[in-house]
């Protein structure tokens, strides 16, 4: 007899209960196994979500506990959708999403394509390249802030070194023109490996014989790339874009640490704006409506995208 | 395998590819290397222009990270000689160490909350994944999708009611509250990943065990669990890394006793502004475990980051 804690527990179980457990049907076991997970998700995800929906129809403010809470119908939603400032936040988010995904796809795919040549030591270098994406985004934002310092930062120094510009003549985080790009650069630095890894899996899934057949048909290397490599990697690439899209739509920690949404509100992505409304201005009802609008947007876009992805996969 | 594949890159193509990839890897490491170096600089060296690559290393950043200090009069300093090497470093600024800083506590909070939530999500996740993998559960696909969809919500959106809920239940700023919260966030990953791993274990093993007179429970923990050990271990590391790195919930729901390291590190203040060497030291200590885990995980990395969607 082995003596793992589980065995000990099994031996310690009174006969009567033990018989009961042993007699459980598979169906009962299935429910006992699944129930705690579902319960936890209901308590910490679904219940809060329903509560958010309910709050979104009120003028509740979480910092004033005694105040009367009024039901104001759809007024919060109305106010958000007609607020021009929120459209600016949406634009900032769109800019961030578009450029991070574009850059990550191009660089990530190219890197994967290079690594797929299987040069000596490629496994080691792949691991090195992957490191940034596993780090804490908030901490990454924090130390990039140091690299971006105008007078003392390494980033400015290197840019200055190669372009001849004075390193204190530009501020990545302080200027309205450059700040949106500073967050794109850091996100690209951090997440390009993610796209790369997924593309690499795609490239490795293409069987050799397809290229061999193409070679017999005398298709040029260029043609092989566009008619074999790209279409076969596309479903993988689209999956990578889906993950990055959802993650970057929710983006909060990295950017909050890096720019705090500034200067002005040039890098105030929707999540940061939402945090201000909810936890600085304490407009709980209004922020709840905002949260619901964001959630519906992500969920809607993701569902449409998944449909498209499945179509590509079927082809 | 054919002896000569027409697809294998020529030695020259390999050489160029290798050179480009290594160049990218080295460039991408510069920011990280810089932050590690900064941790060993004196405050003056850290903010010098042009940036110093060669400097005299000092442990000042690390001492400042772990201690609180006060300025003292000359008489006091000459009457009390430095007690140890750390005190000696501080003395050059006419200061003495008066006690530990909060960093140790915050780091410990990260460890407690990280391991607690990892244990819970892997425990619950293994049970649920086994059930989804082996039993017919009505609406299984819908339930699995529901579990995944909880991950799509922006953390700030859920944070509002959780903030209110925790305030009412007395869970704000407690370890238990954060452990439960991170478990709820991680469980979708755990279930999806583990279901993939358990799906790969042939059913015949358990069936043979059941015929031999094992009960379902015995078959589960004596046959399936050992087979799934690698999968469980890598899932655990993924959950741990997520909980370790999390910032949004931590900054909104904790202020002191359960605050983790990520919201704390950026607030380290030195004399006349942010103490960059101390922050860099904190960042280095905080990131090191994740780097080690990433290297351990490298074979299962892809699977983890795509929720099991891509397996190779």
How far is it, in rounded angstroms, from Cα B125 to Cα B137? 16
> Which residues from B are below 8 Å from A249, CB to CB?
154
Confidence class of residue B216 from pLDDT cuts 50, 70 and 90? confident
Span B72-107, pLDDT tens digits: 888 888 888 887 888 888 888 788 888 888 899 999
φ/ψ region of A268 (left if φ > 0, alpha if ψ in -120 to 50, else beta) reads: beta
> Which residues from B are below 8 Å from A40, CB to CB?
124, 180, 183-184, 187
Q: Do B135 and A117 touch (CB under 8 A)?
A: no
Q: Half-sphere exposure of residue A169, counting CA atoms within 13 Å on the CB side?
A: 7
Of chain A residues 271-300, which have a CB less than 8 A from chain B? 271, 274-275, 278-279, 284, 287-288, 291-292, 294-295, 298-299
Determine the CATH number of domain A83-314. Answer: 1.10.3720.10
φ/ψ region of A9 (left if φ > 0, alpha if ψ in -120 to 50, else beta) reads: alpha
Burial class (CB in 10 A: 0-12, 13-18, 19+), A138: buried
Mean pLDDT of chain B: 86
> Which residues from B are below 8 Å from A62, CB to CB?
160, 163-164
Nearest to A72 by CA among A61, A86, A82, A64: A61
Picking from B14, B121, B154 by the largest number of A CB atoms within 10 A of its own CB, the best residue to mutate is B154
Q: Do B301 and A287 touch (CB under 8 A)?
A: no
Q: Which residue of B has its CA nearest to A188?
A: B28
- Which 8-state DSSP code applies to residue B50? S
Of chain B residues 54-93, which have a CB less than 8 A from chain A? none
pLDDT at B3: 39
Nearest to A158 by CA among A185, A193, A188, A125: A185
Token pair 């780090």 is found at A135
pLDDT at B7: 59
> Which residues from A are below 8 Å from B203, CB to CB?
none
Nearest to A286 by CA among A35, A9, A29, A85: A85
Residues of chain A with confidence (pLDDT) below 70: 1-23
Please say whether the dihedral angle defined by the alpha carbons of residues A219, A220, A224 and A226, taken in this order, is positive or negative: negative
CA angle A202, A204, A209 (to 5 degrees): 115
Q: Please give the domain boundaries of chain B with CATH numbers for all domains.
A: 1-101+268-283 (no CATH), 104-265 (1.10.3720.10)
pLDDT at A5: 63
φ, ψ of residue B28 in degrees (nearest 5):
-70, -20
pLDDT at A1: 43
Q: Which residue of B has its CA nearest to A122?
A: B18
pLDDT at A19: 56
B6 pLDDT above the threshold of 80: no
Q: Do B287 and A135 touch (CB under 8 A)?
A: yes
Picking from B157, B214, B276, B293 by the largest number of A CB atoms within 10 A of its own CB, the best residue to mutate is B157
**Count of CB pairs separated by less than 8 Å, A with B:** 287
Chain CA centroid to CA A308, Å: 19
Strand, coil or helix: B96: strand
pLDDT at A113: 93
Confidence class of residue B232 from pLDDT cuts 50, 70 and 90? very high
- Domain boundaries defined on chain A: 15-55, 83-314
Helices assigned H by DSSP within A46-136: 47-55, 75-81, 84-115, 122-130
Determine the average pLDDT of the residues in B39-61. 85
Q: Do A197 and B301 touch (CB under 8 A)?
A: yes
**A304 in contact with B at a CB cutoff of 8 Å?**
no
How far is it, in rounded angstroms, from Cα A125 to Cα B81? 50
B138 pLDDT above the threshold of 70: yes
Span B109-133, pLDDT tens digits: 999 999 999 999 999 999 999 999 9
Confidence class of residue B1 from pLDDT cuts 50, 70 and 90? very low
pLDDT at A96: 95
Neighbouring residues of A83: CB distance < 8 A, sequence distance ≥ 6: none
Lowest-pLDDT range, A203-207, B147-151, B274-278? Answer: B147-151
Confidence class of residue B184 from pLDDT cuts 50, 70 and 90? very high
């Amino acid at each position: 007899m082995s003596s793992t804690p589980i065995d000990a527990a099994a031996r310690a179980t009174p006969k009567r209960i033990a018989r009961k457990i042993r007699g459980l049907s598979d169906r009962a076991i299935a429910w006992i196994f699944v129930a705690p997970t579902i319960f936890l998700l209901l308590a910490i995800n679904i219940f809060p979500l329903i509560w958010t929906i309910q709050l979104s129809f009120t003028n509740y403010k979480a910092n004033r506990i005694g105040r009367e809470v009024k039901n104001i119908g759809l007024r919060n939603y109305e106010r958000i959708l007609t607020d021009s400032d929120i459209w600016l936040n949406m634009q900032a988010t769109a800019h961030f999403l578009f450029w991070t995904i574009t850059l990550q796809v191009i660089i990530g795919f190219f890197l994967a394509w290079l690594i797929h040549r299987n040069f000596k030591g490629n496994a080691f270098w792949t691991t090195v390249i992957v490191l940034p994406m596993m780090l804490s985004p908030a901490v990454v934002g924090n130390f990039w802030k140091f690299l971006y310092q105008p007078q003392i930062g390494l980033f400015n120094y290197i840019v200055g070194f190669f372009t001849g510009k004075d390193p204190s003549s530009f501020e990545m985080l302080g200027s309205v023109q450059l700040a949106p790009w500073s967050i794109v650069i850091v996100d690209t630095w951090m997440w390009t490996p993610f796209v790369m890894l997924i593309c690499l899996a795609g490239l490795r899934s293409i069987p050799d014989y397809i290229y061999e057949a193409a070679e017999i048909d005398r298709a040029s290397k260029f043609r092989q790339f566009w008619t074999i490599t790209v279409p076969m990697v596309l479903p993988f690439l689209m999956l990578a874009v889906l993950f990055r899209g959802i993650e970057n739509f929710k983006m909060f920690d990295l950017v909050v640490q890096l720019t705090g949404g500034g200067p002005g509100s040039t890098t105030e992505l929707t999540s940061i704006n939402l945090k201000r409304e909810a936890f600085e201005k304490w407009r709980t009802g209004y922020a709840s409506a905002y949260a619901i609008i964001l959630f519906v947007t992500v969920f809607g876009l993701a569902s449409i995208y998944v449909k498209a992805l499945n179509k590509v996969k079927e082809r | 395998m054919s002896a000569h594949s027409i697809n294998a890159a020529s030695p020259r193509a390999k050489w160029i590819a290798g050179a480009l990839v290594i160049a990218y890897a080295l460039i991408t490491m510069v920011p990280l290397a810089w932050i590690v170096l900064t941790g060993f600089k004196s405050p003056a060296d850290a903010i010098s222009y042009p940036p110093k690559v060669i400097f005299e290393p000092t442990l000042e950043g690390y001492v400042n990270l772990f201690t609180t200090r006060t300025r003292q009069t000359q008489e006091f300093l000459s009457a009390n000689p430095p007690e140890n090497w750390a005190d000696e470093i501080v003395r050059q600024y006419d200061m003495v160490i008066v006690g530990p800083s909060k960093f140790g506590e915050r780091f410990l909070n990260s460890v407690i909350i990280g391991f607690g939530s990892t244990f819970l999500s892997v425990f619950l996740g293994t049970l649920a994944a086994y059930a989804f993998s082996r039993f017919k559960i009505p609406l299984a696909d819908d339930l699995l999708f529901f579990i995944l969809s909880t991950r799509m919500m922006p953390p700030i959106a859920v944070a509002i009611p959780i903030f209110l809920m925790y305030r009412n239940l007395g869970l704000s700023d407690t370890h238990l509250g954060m452990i439960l919260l991170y478990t709820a966030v991680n469980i979708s990953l755990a279930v999806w990943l583990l279901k993939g791993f358990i799906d790969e274990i042939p059913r015949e093993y358990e069936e043979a065990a059941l015929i031999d007179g094992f009960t379902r429970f015995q078959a589960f923990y004596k046959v399936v669990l050992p087979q799934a050990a690698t999968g469980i271990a890598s899932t655990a590391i993924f959950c741990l890394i997520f909980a370790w790195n999390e910032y949004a919930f931590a900054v909104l729901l904790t202020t002191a006793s359960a605050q983790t390291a990520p919201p704390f590190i950026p607030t380290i203040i030195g004399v006349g502004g942010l103490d960059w060497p101390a922050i860099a030291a904190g960042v280095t200590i905080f990131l090191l475990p994740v780097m080690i885990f990433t290297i351990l995980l490298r074979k299962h990395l892809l699977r983890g980051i795509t929720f099991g969607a891509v397996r190779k």
